[in-house]
Structure 1
Amino acid sequence: MSIPHVGKLRRAATAVILAAGLTLSVAACGGDSGKSEEKAPAAASSKPPEDSGNGDGETVPDTSKVLVTVKGDSGIDMVINSAKRDSGGFLTISGQLKNTGSGLYTTPIQWSGDEQAVAGTGRSLAGMTLVDSQEKKRYYVLRDTDNRPLTTSGFDPSIEAGKSLTFFAQFPAPATSTNQVDLQFPGFSNATIEIS
């Protein structure tokens, strides 16, 4: 087959693919036929189920309930809004780190933990741990298959005065008989929280 014929075949194949893509796009964006449609259930994610977006790509925890507030260094408060077990055997903690001071708060590197494996993943809250005093066990933030911590990560290195950093962290769920754990996080005293 000569080179001009190959070029014509490629152009024709490209045109067919583009036409098919446009047809699918138009069909997917079709108008409202007046019928209600059932939505498929949402896929499970590592975010707390009660979180919703605020339009800026940030997750906003359900702040209607406060389990505990712990004062930290330099006007930073840790507010825990929920500690929920899920059916997959995880415990998800969500809350906010609020800068109640009058100046910029620089987040400490200790928040990311001191494990070499997670140091390369950037800023995170991997330094957070849970202690189950009843079972005498300590739980660390879970990791995914690429060794990234299942917690809020990639955040700015500072929090402006009056602003907050919303967060979540997933841990292995303690025994079902355990309904209270201590949350430990660098710069804060122990926070005893109830599991729902």
Structure 2
Amino acid sequence: MTNPRVRKMRRAGSAALLLVVLSFSVAACGGDTGNEEKKSPSAASSAATTGSGEDEGKNLPDTSQVLVTVHGDSGIDMIIHSAKRDTGGFLTVSGQFKNTGSDLFTTPIQWGGAEEAVAATGRSLAGMTLVDSKEKKRFYVLRDTDNRPLTTSGYEPSIAAGKSLAFFAQFPAPAQSTTQVDLQFPGFTNATIEIS
């Protein structure tokens, strides 16, 4: 055998060995990912809480309590179930949007608010605000360090007739002396809610 021929055979052998190693690596990585997804129910539950346009009232903390129902455009109702102070100075509002009409309701782009940085993170309810009339303050949905709003996001662009979209929105908590706030959201009239 000549040297060029030996080199050619070595290269072919190396390429075949590399191909085998890569195929095992890909198979191993793919297998791990599938197992993690099956073992991690928290990933599925967190995806469910963001909303999918289907009836998700079961994900709300206590749907038997209704603080207020506000009728919006095109047969969509906003039902507020709770407004609770959390440790750390936050106020979390939970509820659902229910399509009481007979047609598909397309969620308006205004629900995400007017901020360009927040709009870049996808569909959200960042357009929701709280007003403390007593202290003359307005509170916007909190943001994380990547400018993502701390609210339901990534939901489907429409809600089918008779279906609902569960939601939450987290705000800075008003002063302890404040027991009532007005919730403002595009397409709905002001909703006065009691803080618990």
TM-score scaled by length of structure 2: 0.72
Deviating beyond 3 angstroms after TM superposition, the runs of 4 or more aligned structure 1 residues are none
Q: What per-residue deviation string (whole Å, max 9, x for no partner) do you get for residues 7-57 of structure 1?
A: xxxx9xxxxxx9xxxxxxxxxxxxxxxxxxxxxxxxxxx9xxxx8x9xx9x
CA distance in 2, matches of 1:88, 1:166: 24
1:101 aligns to 2:101 (yes or no): yes
CA distance in 1, matches of 2:86, 2:103: 38
Residue in 2 that maps onto 1:117: 117
Residue in 2 that maps onto 1:7: none
Q: Partner amino acid for 1:73?
A: D
Q: What per-residue deviation string (whole Å, max 9, x for no partner) do you get for residues 89-134 of structure 1?
A: 0000000000000000000000000101101110000000000000
Aligned-pair CA distance for 1:80 = 0.1
Alignment of 1:106-185 (within 5 A): 106-185=106-185
Q: Partner amino acid for 1:60?
A: N
SS in 2 for 1:70: strand
Instruction: Give the number of the structure whose alpha-carbon radius of gyration is greater.
Output: 2
Q: What percent of counterpart residues are identical?
A: 80
CA distance in 1, matches of 2:117, 2:169: 17
SS in 1 for 2:118: helix
Residue in 1 that maps onto 2:59: 60
Residue in 2 that maps onto 1:186: 186
Alignment of 1:19-58 (within 5 A): none
CA distance in 2, matches of 1:122, 1:147: 11
CA distance in 1, matches of 2:175, 2:128: 19
Residue in 2 that maps onto 1:30: none
In structure 1, list runs of 5 or more residues that go unmatched.
Answer: 1-10, 12-17, 19-45
SS in 2 for 1:101: coil
TM-score scaled by length of structure 1: 0.72
